[in-house]
Amino acid sequence: MNLLIDYGTGNLHSVKAAFQRIGIPLTLSNNPDEIETADFVILPGVGAFGDAMDRLNQSGIASALKKRFEYSRPLLGICLGMQLLFESSDEAPGISGLGLIKGHFKKLTPRPDAPKIPHMGSNTLDLANDNVLNYSGNWAYFVHSYALTYTEPGVVLFTTHYGEAIPAVVRKNSAAGFQFHPEKSGQSGETMLKTMITQLFEGGLNGIISSD
């Protein structure tokens, strides 16, 4: 079973529809037991870091996600969902994220070539290290005000540029994250999403992606 976590925040309808189009049917769930053991889980997110973590902690979903990571079960975070995989954010001082990956998110600063915050719009992806994915130059749609500042070596696979290099795709073991919105990135976003997911989880999604 493939789950889309419903914890009271996130653009659930468009995410579910996009995954359906690429052959990954998702079931909405807020059940920690289901989330812990599902084949594949998507953690979406639109809103504030602190409020989202409060919802995840109170519902028991945070503990379930940590157990998923411990047992190497595939987990993908999208936008705020990616940020929640890390330790902390300027948006919510003193509030701990899931801490699956080391790193902190800082608030973006307006710059001459990036005057508007939040960063909103389509930007190209740039290869950040020698990984197996090859999506440099592809366009992806971003809406965010915070960016990852530091993390462990090899975690950042792609960046985008908005006044500075911003991590756009991350992965550590069975957890991966997209800072952009693949469900809002058009046909190229869906194609990129399907191939990226297959490769990010290195064969761990056998039987998850439909052949239909």
| Residues labelled as active-site residues | 79, 181, 183
Q: Torsion over CA of 87, 32, 156 and 23, rounded to 10 degrees? A: -160
- Torsion sign (Cα): 161, 94, 72, 17: negative
How far lies 42's CA from each of 108, 116, 147, in Å?
25, 29, 20
Closest CA to 123 of 85, 166, 87: 166
Each residue of 94-115: b (16+ CB within 10 Å) or e?
Answer: ebebbebbebbbeebeeeeeee
For residue 104, list its beta bridge partners. Answer: 88, 150
Report how far residue 203's alpha carbon sits from residue 49's, in angstroms, rounded to the nearest whole number: 31
* Beta strands per DSSP E along 46-151: 75-78, 88-89, 103-107, 119-124, 126-127, 139-144, 146-151
What are residue 190's phi and psi, to 5 degrees? -70, -40
What are residue 53's phi and psi, to 5 degrees? -65, -35
- Contact status, residue 145 vs residue 108, Cβ threshold 8 Å: yes
